[in-house]
Chain A
Amino acid sequence: MTEQETRDACSVKTEAPVEELMTDDAASEEEIQAARDEAWRTKRADESGNVTSLDPFVYFIYKLLIDEVTSGALERIVREIEEIFEEMAAKVVENNKSQSVIFTNGFVASHAKAVVSRLLASQQALVFKTLGMSTAKLNAESAEAGENALAVLTSLFSPKPSTEGKDKKPE
């Protein structure tokens, strides 16, 4: 798969470059515009170092920064998180008990948790797809090797431990 084929998946995919479409009488205005947009995106991506990621959380933050929130606002929240979580981590060591933030608005917090769950589902789907690819490849070589590999690979992926505790720190 070439780099061009893997370009930003949210972008409009075009079959032909702008020059070809410009000389093609059958090409619609929309097709030409889509090709121009894609060429522009490709150029910007090249200029900024062709940064890639396969983590949906990174893509989510990227989209927020591009469309929804200023870097200043995001930075303020991140700073707040660093302060709160450092304090909580210190309390865990001090009291030997896990800590968590209690949200003032539990309804919004539940929605925030649902958002994170959906992103985690995307991430885990990628893990299982990769596991599937790996075991399919190994199974094709040897059934026994495939079974052993599945055990090893599955052990690499285990759910994160729950850190929810009884002692909770108000927000």
Chain B
Amino acid sequence: MNEEQLMAGPGEMPDPQEEARARSEAWRLQLAEASGNVSSSDPFVYLIYRLLIEYVSVADMESVLKEVVETFEEMLTETTEDKKVRNVVFTNGFVAEYAKHINQTLVIEHKKMLMSVADASGLPTIPEGSRADFEDFISRLLQATESISKPPATEGSAAS
């Protein structure tokens, strides 16, 4: 029931709570439209949006982001061809495990959504390399390099 229907009820007094909810919904729709109807199906975007709306200031979010980006830029600079990809070692491993768990939950939600879309559109599989299973992806990438770089078995060579 929209705002107009509530305001012009058939001779009954509208429920104040329902009326307030309808007004609030109408306000939300108006603001969403005025701000460009921005939408997303990425749970991580939703998480950051909710944090920015209620818990973290833009400035604080920016300083966290700056630190993360700079850390990874440094990691990339220090990762040279003869060395393996560098890891961040967390000072508080317990919190890091929790952060991994949250990330995994968001990845699973994203994957579920992608799978639903793939099912609906008839796509046979989810393309690899999305944010889902990133660490697994890098590890497979390195493994693939190792296996490709192995010379092919020559005919007549002894089986190992």
Contacts and interface: CB of A to CB of B under 8 A. Distances in A.
A81 interface: yes
B13 interface: no
Contact of B37 (A45, A80, A102): A102
Nearest to B56: A68
B20 interface: no
A116 B45 contact: yes
A107 B88 CA distance: 32
A65 B72 contact: no
- The majority secondary structure among interface residues of chain A is helix
A109 B106 CA distance: 17
Interface residues of B, number: 96
A63 B103 CA distance: 13
Interface string B119-139: 111010011111110110110
Nearest to B120: A96
Contact of B43 (A50, A85, A170): A85
Most buried by B among A49, A65, A103: A103
Contacts, number: 341
Given A62-B96, A113-B38, A159-B129, A68 B55 contact: yes
18 contacts: A48-B93, A50-B93, A53-B135, A55-B134, A55-B135, A56-B68, A59-B88, A81-B47, A96-B120, A103-B49, A108-B53, A109-B35, A109-B49, A152-B148, A160-B114, A161-B114, A163-B41, A170-B29
Interface of A: 1, 3, 6-11, 41, 44-45, 47-69, 71, 73-74, 77-78, 80-82, 84-86, 88-90, 92-93, 96-113, 115-116, 118-123, 125-127, 129-131, 133-134, 136-138, 141, 145, 148-149, 152-153, 156-161, 163-165, 168, 170-171
Interface of B: 28-29, 31-32, 34-56, 58, 60-61, 64-65, 67-69, 71-76, 79, 81, 83-100, 102-103, 105-106, 109-110, 112-121, 123, 126-132, 134-135, 137-138, 140-142, 144-145, 148-149
